[in-house]
Amino acid sequence: MNAILTDLYQLTMAAGYWQSGKATEVATFELFVRRLPPHRNFLVAAGLAQAVEYLLNLRFTEEELAYLRKLPQFRSAGEGFFQMLSEFRFTGDVFAVPEGTPVFAGEPILTVRAPLLEAQIPETYLLAMVGFQSLIATKAARMVESAAGRAVVEFGTRRAHGPEAGVLAGRAAFVGGCTGTSNTLSGMKYGIPVFGTAAHSWVQSFASETEAFARLYELLGPATTFLIDTYDTLEGARRATQLGKPFWGVRLDSGDLAALSKAVRAILDSAGFPEAKIMATGDLNEYKIADLLAAGAPIDAFGAGTELATSADAPSHGAVYKLVEIASGAEKRATAKASAEKSTLPGAKQIFRYADHDVLGLAGECRMGCEALLRPVVLHGEPIGPQPTIVESREYARRCLAALPDEVRGLEVVPEPWRIKQSVELIQLREAVLGGRS
C-alpha cells in the first residue's frame, strides 16, 4: 500500500509532529459525515474491510522516500524522520461500525486511535475509501428498495471514476443489496456474483441479428440473455423467440422501457416463452425504477450503471476525519474545531443504538438496552479475529435497513430521519472544551 497516496500536508504535519516531539502522543480521530448528502435519509457504511487492509499494510517504499527527500517541504526534516518512515507500521487501534450499518449525520463510522503521526497520515486514503464505498452502498440500497424484490445488478464500471472505482463500486453495491456486478475483477477479488452476456457490438459484428443471436446461444445456451434493441426492439424480441429454444430472457437498453417491456412481454408470451425474463438497463436510478414499476412494466431485473456507480444525484458527501482527543503521557485532552459551520464534538465517542433512536455518547459510557455500534477491529496494529464475509455484511445491511421506519428507507427525504440524542456526558465535555468559544 502506497503510504504517499495521501495529501502532502499529512506528511508535512508528520514531519512537524516528529520535529516537535509530538509524533508519539496518542491521538483519536473519528471519520463521519457532518450532514447527510442531498436526497439521502441514511448512509450505509461500507469499505471498512479495505480501510483495515490498508492500515495493516501501510509502508513507505524506497522510491517514495527518495521522492519525499527531494521535496522542499522536508528540507529541514532530519534523517531520523526518514529512517522512522522507512520502518513505519500502523501500531494503533481501529474501531468501526460493522459494514452494512446504516449511519446518520455526526456518527463516527470509523475511529482511529494511534500515535499522532500514524493516525494522521492515513486520513486521506481512509476518507476516499470509506467515503466512496459508503456513497455507493447507499445508492444501491435505495435502488434495491425501489426494485421491490427484483434483482438489481451493478453495471457501471465504464462510467465510474477510473477503473479502481469500478471495482470498488461493484463491491459496495453488493453490500448495499445488489445481486451482483458486471465487473469481473470485483467478482474475483471479493467473491461477488458476476453477470453479463453481450453488447451491441456483438450484434453489429455479425451480418444479421438472427445470426448474432444464434451464435450467442451456442455459447451460453438456456442462460442466454439477448440484447434486442440494436436495430428494432420488437423485431429483436421476435428473433429471440424464433430460435425456438428456451433462453433466460431479453435485455432492453433504450426507448420507452415501460411501453416496450409490455409489448415485448406479449411477444414472448404469445411465442410460447412465458418463462423468459425481461431485464432493463439504460441510465436507471431509484426514481425511474419506481416509475416503471408503478406503470406496471413487466420487468424482472434491472441493470444499473452510471447513476449507481457515480451516485449521480449525490456524487460526494462531506465525510471528515477529525481529531477529537489527544493524550501525552497521563494527560488526556479532548479537542474540537470551532470554525463557523464546521464545528465538531470533542472526545472519543460511541454510537448507542436503541430501537427507535441513537444516543451519541462518550466511548467510556455504559448503557443498557442498546447496541454499541463501534467495535474494535484492530488493536495494537493487529486485526481482531475474522471479519464478516461480504455476504454476511450484505445480509446485515438488509436486516438493519428492514428495521428502519418505512419512510426512512423510502425515496423521499425525511427532515429528521432518525433521532440522535447527545448523552449528558458528551454535552458536558463539549461545554468544557468549546464553552468559551462557541
Q: Of 87-95, 337-345, 355-363, 408-416, which segment contacts a second copy by CB under 8 A?
A: 337-345
On whether the CB atoms of residues 426 and 360 are closer than 8 A, the answer is yes
- We find the least distance from the C-beta atom of residue 264 to a second copy, in angstroms, to be 14
Residue 220 CB, nearest distance to a second copy (Å)?
Answer: 6
Question: Residues 62, 79, 87, 218: which binds a second copy (CB under 8 A)?
Answer: 218
Residue 210, interface with a second copy (CB under 8 A)? no
Is position 364 an interface residue for a second copy (rule: CB under 8 A)? no
Candidates 101-109, 210-218, 289-297, 363-371 — which segment interacts with a second copy by CB under 8 A? 210-218
Which of 97, 168, 240, 292 is close enough to bind a second copy by CB under 8 A? 168
Q: Could you say whether residue 329 binds a second copy (CB under 8 A)?
A: no
Task: Give me the half-sphere count of Cα atoms (radius 13 Å) on the Cβ side of residue 99.
Answer: 32
CB environment 384-413: b (16+ within 10 A), e (fewer): eeebeebeebbebbbebbeebeeebbbbee
Nearer to a second copy, 337 or 421 (CB): 337
Beta carbon nearer to a second copy, 145 or 253: 253
- 131 near 42, Cβ under 8 Å? no
- Whole-number Å distance between alpha carbons of 365 and 377: 19
CB 129 within 8 A of CB 385: no
Nearest approach, Cβ of residue 17 and a second copy (Å)? 7
The answer to whether residue 4 forms part of the interface with a second copy (CB under 8 A) is: yes
Give min distance, CB of 38 to a second copy, in A. 11
What is the footprint of a second copy within residues 11-50 (CB under 8 A)? 11-13, 15-17, 19-20, 22, 25, 27, 29
- Which helix (H) or strand (E) segment is 326 a member of? strand 319-328
**Position 94 contacts a second copy (CB under 8 A):** no
Centre a 10 Å sphere on the Cβ of residue 195 and count the other Cβ atoms it contains.
20
> Residue type at 51?
A
CB nearer a second copy, residue 51 or residue 426: 51
Nearest approach, Cβ of 204 to a second copy (angstroms)?
4
With contacts defined by CB under 8 A, name the span among 38-46, 121-129, 273-281, 285-293 that binds a second copy. Answer: 121-129
Residues 344-363 that bind a second copy (CB under 8 A): none
**Residue 220 near a second copy by CB under 8 A:** yes
Return the residue of 277, 322, 349, 353 that touches a second copy, per CB under 8 A.
322
Among 26, 129, 351, 400, binds a second copy (CB under 8 A): 129
Q: How many CB atoms lie within 10 A of CB 332?
A: 13
How near is the Cβ of 63 to a second copy at its closest, in Å?
7
96 three-class SS: strand
Interface with a second copy includes 157 (CB under 8 A)? yes
Residue type, 67: Y
User: Looking at beta carbons only, is 196 or 410 nearer to a second copy?
Assistant: 196
Strands of the sheet containing 225-227, edge to edge, are 180-181, 151-154, 301-304, 277-280, 249-252, 225-227
Binding to a second copy (CB under 8 A) within 60-79 occurs at 63-64, 67-68, 71-73, 76-77
**Least distance in Å: CB of 164 to a second copy?**
4
Q: How far is the CB of 83 from a second copy (least distance, A)?
A: 17
CB of 48 to a second copy, least distance (A): 14
| 161 counts as binding a second copy under rule CB under 8 A | yes
- By CB under 8 A, name the one of 101, 138, 179, 182 that touches a second copy: 182
Q: Are 322 and 106 in contact (CB under 8 A)?
A: no
The one among 80, 86, 221, 354 contacting a second copy by CB under 8 A: 221
Which are the contacts of 25, defined by CB distance < 8 A and separation ≥ 6?
Answer: 17, 115, 116, 326, 327, 328
Q: Does 145 bind a second copy (CB under 8 A)?
A: no
Part of the chain binding a second copy (CB under 8 A), chosen from 99-107, 241-249, 253-261, 385-393 = 253-261
Closest distance to a second copy from the beta carbon of 5 (Å):
4
Cα 273 from Cα 388, distance rounded (Å): 41
Binding flag, residue 404, a second copy (CB under 8 A): no
Say which residues have a Cβ less than 8 Å from residue 179's Cβ, sequence separation at least 6. Answer: 151, 152, 153, 193, 195, 301
Cα-Cα-Cα-Cα dihedral sign, residues 230, 232, 234, 240: negative
Contacts of 171 (CB under 8 A, 6+ apart): 46, 133, 181, 186, 189, 190, 192, 390
Closest CA to 348 of 357, 339, 335, 329: 335
Place of cell 444479421: 208
